[in-house]
Amino acid sequence: MYGWRGRIGALVPAANSVVEPEFQRMAPEGVTTLAGRIMLKDVTPASLRAMRDDTARAAREVADARVGVIAFACTSGSFVGGPDYDRSLTALIEEATGVPATTTTSAVLNALRLLNIGRLAMATPYTDEMTALEADFLEAHGFDVVAWKGGGITRAAEMQECAPEVSAARAREVDRPEAEAVFISCTGLRTIETIERLEADLGKPVVTSNQATFADCLRILGIDEVQPGYGSLFDATFAAMTAKEAQAATA
């Protein structure tokens, strides 16, 4: 049976062609990803908020595949409504399906906290308007965004066409000595091929939307294994899981 160890339900923008292959590349044996799609053509605040109206429908459909977790796998779509918007999406999905849920933005917050990051630089494919909204979201949660740079793309389909070198180059460009980590935002950007090399070259953690979302899904599923080569975040995630298990055993 496919997904005998764990099944991830990913709710992705309709044009997204990156989440599923990146999740599958990172997946350990026995873990599979099944996607539901929500229409999104333009990455604008109004279009992203409209995704919420179709989220329960997409969640119920993917839940029929007996997934163990559902992730709203769209970064901008889960921060566009302000500081608590990601939590409201999680609640909406869990109420509609009874399945544990997360969002990409929630996963990124978890990742930064696990890595003990206070100051970060951020690279995105978005317009300056959207990138500034994301910086505001992160700062509302206590993080200092010391530098950011967007790519000016508004069409969701165009984001999928960027080579991994595009996001890597922007990460290098935006990095600052005072940044404790670099965050590459957007589940539509290919990033996982370059994480390990970037961490070695920059000397600091690199967090990406798909990497963080997948790590959070593994945490929820209770799976502490990933294919090698996708960044220090997984070491931190699995160490926290082990510590939690040890604490529970002695309670």
The answer to whether the CB of 192 falls within 8 A of the CB of 211 is: yes
Write down the architecture of domain 6-250 according to CATH. Answer: 3-Layer(aba) Sandwich (3.40)
The two three-digit tokens of residue 13, written as one number: 């923008």
Query: If residue 189 lies in a helix (H) or strand (E), which one and from where to where?
Result: none
* Pure H helices in 147-222: 156-159, 164-174, 195-202, 209-221
Q: Which amino acid is at 11?
A: L
Query: CB 235: neighbour CB atoms within 10 A?
Result: 13
Q: Where are the domains of the chain?
A: 6-250
- Cα separation values, 222 from 69, 126, 218, Å: 11, 33, 6
Region of residue 183 (left: phi > 0; alpha: psi -120 to 50; beta: else): beta
| Contact between residue 206 and residue 198 where contact means Cβ atoms under 8 Å apart | yes
Contact (CB, 8 A) for 23 and 212: no
> Which pTM was predicted?
0.96
CA distances from 171 to 68, 120, 163 (A): 33, 11, 13
What is the pLDDT tens value at each position of the chain, 251 positions in all? 899 999 999 999 999 999 999 999 999 999 999 999 999 988 889 999 999 999 999 999 999 999 999 999 999 999 999 899 999 999 999 999 999 999 999 999 999 999 999 999 999 999 999 999 999 999 999 999 999 999 999 888 888 898 999 999 999 999 999 999 999 999 999 999 999 999 999 999 999 999 999 999 999 999 999 999 999 999 999 999 998 887 777 76
